[in-house]
Amino acid sequence: MSVSAVAADRSVCAPLPVLGRDVLVPLVTGGEVDYAALDYAASAPALQRVWDDVAAYAPYYGSVHRGAGYLSQLSTDLFENSRRTIGEFLGCRTDDQVVLTRSTTDSLNLLAAVLPQHTSVFVFETEHHASLLPWEQRADLTVTYLNAPRTPEQAVATLERALADREPCSASGDSAKSGPALVCVTGASNVTGELWPVRELAAAAHAHGARIVLDAAQLAPHHPVDLAELDVDWVAFSGHKLYAPFGAGVLAGRADWLQAADPYLAGGGASRTVSRRTDGGVDVEWHTTAARHEAGSPNVIGAYAIASACKALTEAGFDTLVAREQELIARVRAGLAEVPEVRVLSLFGDDAPRVGVLSFVVDGWNSSHFAAALSAEYGIGVRDGLFCAHPLVRTLLGTDPQDPGECGAPEAAPGERSLNAIRVSFGAGTPDEHVDRFLHAVKELVSDGARWNYRTENGRCVPADA
């Protein structure tokens, strides 16, 4: 069956319209096809609702917090109302703060910067680099990396043991381990899509006097995230994974550490007053609100885009969105299970609940070669590589952590093992046809092979010239 026949075989349907659904891309074998965006875990396409809202506001764009003019005041109101909308979407408590950042990575680096001295940080090796790496930037923090668990129950037990092994707080505070503790955990894996036991991990953390931050980058677009219900201290996520472009993110949660720390960035907006001292220096009084860590001109369009996406998801109803996504997950898993050469990667097993993110490898194929063929021959966009979660993917592939990676070439270099996988991800804007075309393409590539030759260019596998 041809690609065009598969595209026509099932009518397009998706709960929330997204941009790009009608974009045509060329095929190396000739002709064009609607682009099948199946890389939501990297950046989800913008919701049409978000784009329309931003377009309606754009003529009224003005400076935020600084202008006396009508457009500046309107933009300031829009920015602060967006903050409130995001806080409602996250179930923020009365005294929580919502800090608007650039991304999940920026949010977690901000949190790392404001941690009290000698905080002990506990993080599973399975985390995305955004939540795995920021803690190493401060020499006074003690970071404990926990081994990958193989069940949700093992994850909780592993954390409980690690927290119980902490040295007790000393009165003098001299010990590097005498400070507070923070646990960082994902809500849904960006590699396997598996849901983590957030409530249970939060309970374990709090039972041992630790706080917990939730990386909800992959969770928030698929499931409701409620700080109070999950009992987490902070949550971080990115707009670009929540169907909202323009480079904004969120760190929301407890205010005390945020208020006590020096600003993440120093500059206008973070300061209330600045005055010269007699010795020639300056005295600064910093804001105690979220503005303390929002120096510079705010990304009002990015914040408004996130707020618009929050409203769209809430109005669509997560029950409806989750039910439909689970149907797509079941269809993808069943289709891949029909291909013996395909191995789906998993930590917690086939029955683990998950969001619309799955990674797999194909016997006899380098994953970069396979992903390139999906794009060039079928118009399907997926991700290949280690997904900014190198330790986790290496664990799932059963490779030594020191084995060199080789991402981009259709064949591993001599003496090297191929350390990459293929990730397919989808969500509220995915039509049924995209999933059907993907499964058709996987089966056809495995059975018949690629119809085109490929070569390595700048570390990527690309179609060779005809």
Catalytic residue numbers? 388
Instruction: Say how many C-beta atoms besides its own lie within 10 A of residue 217's C-beta.
Output: 28
CA distance between the termini of the chain: 24
- Distance separating alpha carbons of residues 80 and 267, to the nearest angstrom: 19
CA dihedral 206, 212, 214, 215 (to 10 degrees): -150
What value does the CA radius of gyration of the chain take, rounded to a whole number of Å?
A: 24
Q: CB-based contacts of 457: which residues, under 8 Å, 6+ apart?
A: none
Question: Nearest to residue 383, comparing CAs of 437, 420, 338, 335?
Answer: 420
- Distance separating alpha carbons of residues 288 and 50, to the nearest angstrom: 31
- Distance separating alpha carbons of residues 106 and 77, to the nearest angstrom: 24
What angle is formed at CA 430 by the lines to CA 427 and CA 435, rounded to 5 degrees? 105
- Distance separating alpha carbons of residues 374 and 356, to the nearest angstrom: 19
- Cβ atoms of residues 464 and 455 within 8 Å: yes
Token couple for 94: 């009365």
CA atoms within 13 A on the CB side of 204: 23
Question: Nearest to residue 254, comparing CAs of 116, 403, 456?
Answer: 116
- Distance separating alpha carbons of residues 432 and 328, to the nearest angstrom: 8
Q: Is 307 exposed, middle or buried (0-12, 13-18, 19+ CB in 10 A)?
A: buried
- Distance separating alpha carbons of residues 455 and 369, to the nearest angstrom: 9
Q: CB-based contacts of 283: which residues, under 8 Å, 6+ apart?
A: 274, 275, 276, 277
